[in-house]
Amino acid sequence: DTGVSQDPRHKITKRGQNVTFRCDPISEHNRLYWYRQTLGQGPEFLTYFQNEAQLEKSRLLSDRFSAERPKGSFSTLEIQRTEQGDSAMYLCASSPRPGPNTEAFFGQGTRLTVV
């Protein structure tokens, strides 16, 4: 297992276009998180899945954002009608089980640039 995989690594899009990112968590990790990291800031929580159920969404996730995790395996994050303010690194993380001793493993992220 090579860890959490994210695709693409970089995406440049024109304002107003839709984009979709993919995250493949570590096998058998039932918890999956999406974060957004802007330049000079720490990652900010966006949303959380336990298996296929989306159980929490941040206020940061406007109605232009949607995430899915069909079948509880890979996840996608879609941004519709992109804006320049959406430019950021989008990080995915997975963990195997609940509890304070559980480590979240992060992917290398997808860097989105909206021009």
Q: Which residues bind other proteins (CB under 8 A)?
A: 4, 31, 33, 40-45, 48, 50, 55-56, 91, 93, 95, 98-109
Tell how far CA 66 is from the center of its chain: 10
Q: Please say whether the beta carbons of 47 and 61 come within 8 A.
A: yes
For other proteins, the closer CB: 25 or 107: 107
Minimum CB separation of residue 42 from other proteins in Å reads 3
Strand partners of residue 53: 50
For other proteins, the closer CB: 72 or 104: 104
* Distances in whole angstroms, Cα of residue 45 to Cα of each of 14, 16, 54: 25, 24, 13
For other proteins, the closer CB: 52 or 80: 52
Minimum CB separation of residue 17 from other proteins in Å reads 26
For other proteins, the closer CB: 25 or 109: 109
Minimum CB separation of residue 25 from other proteins in Å reads 13
11/13 Cα distance (integer angstroms) = 6
Minimum CB separation of residue 85 from other proteins in Å reads 18
Backbone angles phi, psi at 40, to 5 degrees: 80, 5
Backbone angles phi, psi at 84, to 5 degrees: -60, -30
